[in-house]
Amino acid sequence: MNPLQTNKRPALGAAIAISLLFIATGTSSLVYQVVWQRYLINIFGATIYSVSTVLAAFMGGLALGSFLFGRFADRTRHRHLAIYGVLEIAVGVFALLVPFLLKVLDPVFHGLYAALGVNFFLYSVVRFVLVFIILLLPTTMMGGTLPILSKFLSPDGGNAGLRIGLLYAVNTLGAVLGTILTGFFFIRWWGISHTVLFAAGINVLAGVAAIALSRMFAPPIPLSQTSVQPTVRRSDRVRFVYMAFAVSGLVALALEVAWSRSLVFTFDMLKNTTYSFTAMLATYLVGVTLGSALMTPFVEKLRRPFRVYAGLQIIIGVTSIASFFVLYYFAYSLGGDWFREYDATTDNIRWNAAVALIFARTAAVMLIPTLLMGMAFPVAVRVVLQETRGVGGDVGRLYAVNTIGAIIGSVAAGFVLLPTIGAANTIVAMGALQLTAGVLLYWSDKTLPRSQKIAWAAIGIVTILVAFIRMPHPAFLQPETEVDKTVFYKEGPIATVAVGENTLGFRTIYVDNVGVAGTDPMLLTDQKSLAHVPMLLLRDPKSALTVGFGSGGASYSYTQHPSLERIDCAEITRTVVEAAPMLTASNHDVVMQAAEYEKRTGKPVPGTPLWDDDGASGWYKSDPRYNIVLDDVRSYLRFTKAKYDIIATDCTDLRYKSNANLYDLEYFQLTRDHITDDGMVVVWMPLAGLSDEAFRVALRTFYVVFPEMEVFFMNNQPTHYILLIGTKEPLKVDIEQMRQRIAQPAVARDLAEIQLEQPEKILSCFITGRSALDDYLKGDILNTEDFPYLEFESPRYGYSDTPLLDNLDNLVNVQENPARLLAPGTAPEFLESLEKYYQAVQTIIEGHKLYRRLNIIGAYEKYAKALAMNPVDTSVQELLRFDELRRKVAGQPGNMWARLMMGEILIRQNDTPGAVAEWNNIVKNVGQAPYPTTGALEMARSAADRLAEVYDKAGQTDRAASYRAEAQRFASMIANGQPSP
């Protein structure tokens, strides 16, 4: 007889082997969750419906599987380990089938969109049901593994808390590994399809290993003892634990959603990149793993597990409430001195430090509450199983109710709590709910003295009241600075949107702490160029789709062209649109909120209802041709049959969230499929934040789809982006038609805001294209759905102006003459005028580079040289005003550097009195400077030296000597380390 075949519980070796298998399959389960979400985002877009579908199906399957297989485990006589093996093999097989099943359903989705597309809610519900069914199959199998293994390891319920707690801990440890490996390495190295193959291989191998192990161990209990389970009536305390555990699931997932939405505001560099979300989820799971592992060795020794469980609920509630205050008051600055993310020597990010900082700030907020959550599971198992012996069924039910609570919590947080009460209140409210559940558990304990019950209730009430009283009102998560105040803040189902106004008078709209659009000249150029450039280059555009509302600037500029018959805007979140009234300097009321408009202007709101509600929501649009499609553009283009003459994609930085999927091969192909034969695709492409290789991958991917690609750099401002122009046929510009469109009053007025009213100036922004880029774009790597190179590479590099300028230099090196774009027969006098603009471009760009490096004097000299080369360029005339510097002087009185530089500009513009006034201001007020003492003194010394030079030149030697003495005094103070005078 095999020595391991005994009637005792499984041997230690079996427990270790099973633990290793469960770690491995825990790893694969998180791989699937991440990958399936990506599948749905690629099909349906990065909407809350896609994310919620995966989460609901994942959690729903776990709940269903744990419940069904829990009951099955108690009714099965033996071979639980073999059953577990079969389940794991089934998970692997079904996981491989998921992408194929989704493809099979693609025609169904298209049919549904055609039939129900006008009813987005109904379409989303039907789509949700179909996808839910597909994902339910493998997730149900996953859910069945815990109760099956629980029954194997603790067939009679003995030491159930210890054994099942161990299972829970190791499986969650696997989830931690799966999260980190998938988010940081697997997809980046292998791509999505190979990552799925790897995960499926883990499941199949684990299943085969489990079946092999099952032959080494006989049924641990005689058949006669397993064929019938005793029926035990559960006590009230067990039922209360079930209910409390369901509440715990709700609270845990609601907190996870709220924490994730909040913590991105505390990250300095990585913000809401794929790496930051990976780190947040991993930290959450680490807490749960550690908690379960710490409690497991002691759980069987607890004399009163019910009271311990109740106490844990109270402490979880208190620490969850405290987590908000840690986040709000400490997390923004925590670890900044320890983990220095920026390396001044390389002018780049310190990658390991940036990742460590995310983990540190996340752990400070959520580690203690999640650790306590992990401790609660083995205690709950101990309470439930000390009264029954239906191990599989009770563990399955316990896990199921917790998972159902988790589904409710995640959906409630995203759809209800965050949009209505915000993330801050959600965190505190969930903590209060968990605390209340713990107090109620104590009240249900009939053996606990009434005085203690009252004491616990009082503690709970006081804690909750103090928390809500001490909360900041309003609790804006968008950080404010001395030069930036929040004028709009709203949390929506998908994102938190804020509008900040700086001391220069410019406003910027932020989505999850990332600036996406605004009212300063560079951002206005960004938005207006996305509309006017394609409208002026194409021969006869009648329809346009602009992707992303932003501040509404591009939408407004499209409405200025009367030839357009249809103008659509695809925007993923309505919350962005609702910020429009705060950005009228950009959008000129292209959309309006009735009450706000009437209050601001004193006039009744004009236009037609924006949404399909007859104006019930109070939102209107100024132009009836304009429509907003509330959907992710990938989803919209995948299922709509509409075609456009122009599709303009205005995205934000590729590093953040799922932005990079609007730069992949499949998206570019979608846009090509949805433009007319003589249409155009325009893509905003950042120069910053991309290494040389990543930048070339981005351009190469577009070039593969559009071999007739042209590249524009809007040189009227020191901008940070290029425009990629894609057409099906070579672009040829009719200059007379272009002039006629520019001559339209509304168009001319809009272009004049950014000094692009001259056709030669617009064409001079062409930099290169087509075959001129062949050598530069050589290589094989493309950014695709399966291999999302840019999403994983762009956050690792380039948080300064260095990559921006390097990438721009590489394009300038292959610069072409814009005359190539003109149709045959263009007038010679126009070609001569265009040549002057073209010849000045490189000098202008050199000035931009110096300006970005804060070499104001050098920039002035380059701009002055460019104006001498082409005196009629109004944009260079505007650059020489240095309007941003003037605004700094006016809006930031203590900004001595701005005053020092403004003086240098004024003296070069022969405004000596103006320069003297600026420098005198510095010398007189140096003691009041809000800058480091040494820096203030350095600028005061420079100002005094310049004043001495001015008065020397004017022959006022006494005054010159006086200022020279002041300069010497400042220099001595710097040398001696003395404070400001």
What confidence tens digit (pLDDT) does each residue in 553-594 have? 999 999 999 999 999 999 999 999 999 999 999 999 999 999
> What pLDDT is stored for residue 139 in this prediction?
92
Q: Residue-wise over 739-765: b if at least 16 C-beta within 10 A, else e?
A: eebbeeeebeebbebbbbbbbbbbbbb
Tokens of 72: 């099955």
The predicted pLDDT at position 77 comes to 64
| Phi, psi (rounded to 5 degrees) for 497 | -115, 130
* Eight-state DSSP code of residue 677: E
The answer on pLDDT for 11 being more than 60 is: no
- Poorest-confidence range of 251-260, 281-290, 383-392, 914-923? 383-392
Which band of pLDDT confidence, cut at 50, 70 and 90, is reported for residue 388? low
Round to whole Å and give the CA distance between 654 and 665: 15
Task: Report the SS3 class of residue 511.
Answer: strand
Structure tokens at 561: 């062209």
**Residue 45: exposure state from Cβ atoms within 10 A (0-12, 13-18, ≥19):** buried
What pairs with residue 592 in β-bridges?
A: 620
Name which of 228, 36, 235, 205 is nearest 136 in CA terms: 36
Give residue 299's pLDDT.
Answer: 87
The alpha helices in 680-721, defined as continuous H runs, are: 692-705
Strands 543-547 and 721-727: unpaired
Name the token pair of 642: 């509409």
Q: Is the pLDDT of residue 537 over 90?
A: yes
Q: What's the pTM value of the predicted model, to 2 decimals?
A: 0.91
pLDDT band at residue 452 under the 50/70/90 scheme: confident
- Report residue 357 CA to chain centroid gap: 17
The answer to whether residue 222 scores a pLDDT higher than 90 is: no
> Model confidence over 833-862: pLDDT tens digits?
999 999 999 999 999 999 999 999 999 999
Identity of the amino acid at 541:
P
Note whether 510 and 529 are within 8 A (CB).
no
Angle separating helix axes 305-326 and 351-385, nearest 10 degrees = 160
Helix axis angle for 418-444 and 450-470, nearest 10°, is 170
State the pLDDT confidence band at 551, using cuts at 50, 70 and 90.
Answer: very high
| Residue 163 vs residue 784, higher pLDDT | 784
Res 793 pLDDT > 50: yes
Enter the DSSP assignment of 723: E
Please, are residues 573 and 587 in contact by the beta-carbon 8 Å criterion? no
Q: Kindly report the average pLDDT of the chain as a whole number.
A: 89
For the purposes of burial, counting CB atoms within 10 Å of the CB of 76, is it exposed (0-12), middle (13-18) or buried (19 or more)? Answer: middle
Tell the residue number behind the tokens 């190469």, with chain if given. Answer: 700
Which pLDDT score, from 0 to 100, does residue 692 have? 94
Is it the case that residue 934 has pLDDT exceeding 90?
no
pLDDT score recorded for residue 3: 34
As a whole number of angstroms, the distance between CA 922 and CA 916 comes to 10
Question: Is residue 806 predicted with pLDDT exceeding 90?
Answer: yes
Going by C-alpha positions, the residue among 48, 433, 468 that lies closest to residue 243 is 433
Q: Which two tokens stand for residue 973?
A: 């103070």
Question: What percentage of the chain carries pLDDT values higher than 90?
Answer: 63
Which one-letter DSSP state was computed for residue 724?
E
